[in-house]
Chains A and B, each alone.
Chain A
Amino acid sequence: MIRGMYAILLLDMKRAWLDRARLAAGLAQPLLYLFVLGAGLGASSQLGAGDYRRYIFPGVVALSLLFSATFAAIVIVFDRQIGFFKAILIAPVPRAAIAFGKIGAGALQAFIQGVIVLPFAPLAGIHFGLLATLELLGAMLLAATTFSALGVAVAARFNSTTVFPVVSNAVLLPMFFLSGALYPLSKAPHWMQMACHLDPVAYAVDLMRGALLGRFFFDPRLSVTALVVMIALLGWAAVRVFNRGEDDSSLGAARFNWRR
């Protein structure tokens, strides 16, 4: 199980290394939110531009984690489309090793992408000490793993690289807007405060914001528990799909259960 996970992780990290140019390009989106959207929206908010930028910084890190983790999962779709994934499916390893190897690889890539946003914190007016850094990194790791699990669970169900990005965007943006990344949930309408309880991004943003600014919307213990439960559920969903092997993907095959 461990060796299988390690092999999958190593494979994906080697391939990600070939695409390392993505790291630089991946910085564009968070910086755009932080300095353009942040300046524009902040100027007209009650907080003022400086405070607003500080406020959204953890949300922007979460954005970076969310998009890079789900983007990493696209290799699964690509591998299924060209047939490479079959070579992985015929390996004598538990399907959980495949799922969690993929989740780990996506989380690691996202984590790295998120970490390179952190040096911009002072520019956003945030200064933090060692303890806060450790808390933040821990929260980021947990968040990256959750988002990667989400990406893998969704990607496992698609075998077209043209459909998956459309679907994932349709899922990601609502999750991001519901998360309180760009505005305080405490002032949001009642229905949003209810809905955000189902949103992993909300817990992740809140944990990171708590680490940096000391203000929490959820109880941090609730956030950690919620994220861990979501990782487990999403991982399990991916395992279920991988268990069906090829019966799930080609020929428009109907869902087939491994009976007996």
Chain B
Amino acid sequence: MGTQQQVMLQRPVAGLTLGAKRVLASPLALKIGAGILLLLAWEGVVRAFAPAYVAKPIGIARVFFTVITNQAFLAAAGATLGAVVMGLAMAIMLGMAVGLAMGRVTLVERGLRYYVNSLFATPMIAILPLVTLWFGYNADARLAVIVFAAFFSIAVNTSDGARSVPLEYLEVARSFRARPLSTLLDIVLPSSLPYLIAGMRLAAGRALVGAVVAEFFISIPGLGYYILFNSRTFKHNEAFVAVIALVVVGVSFEAVLNWVTRRYLPWARRD
């Protein structure tokens, strides 16, 4: 689809013999031009209307390299990233176990459906104060918020996936007298993987939000707290570098998931 679209995009200028015009009208030039325009607009609006401390592109560019080589910033980024990865890993393991059980065992599904679906729909920020009551104001509370935020999207998607296993596959497994464990590992798990991937995509975003919110609330070192601290002391440019770092983390998760899907699960692409 990508190439087809590019071909279509270039069609209007294909007749032009001038190379320069073609480059100017190419999608990439257009995108870069729009990006520059957005940055200029941001810079201009902030200069004209906002106080001097407000983040603007030139200010951010000026502090960018000092911030990303700063020890405190790197430690903060490491802390947040570590917590998110660990929380996601825990949520994926727990969520898959619960999701597979819900998808394949009717009793478990009927018993848990309401709870899992309801908590899936709940903004997990709301339980933040409760989690700090349970775990105290420390890194454990952040990890718990991340796990809570990510768990339900994994469980809901895995159970949808486990329920959508084609019946013929299960019948074949039964007629070959497959053991329940190998049915689970060789049939149910692979065919629910596309759903799991979709769940992980959702979970990664929620986990990141959970981590940032927990750091705001608990004031423990991390990118969220870095943003909070620096914006309180009116160093918006420095704080914004941390926002960029968060976007990069989010986009990288997405890229890794896409790559894994393409490389190892080519049948699982759902787009």
Indicate whether A and B interact. Answer: no
Interface residues of A, Cβ cutoff 8 Å to B: none
Chain B residues in contact with chain A, CB under 8 A?
none
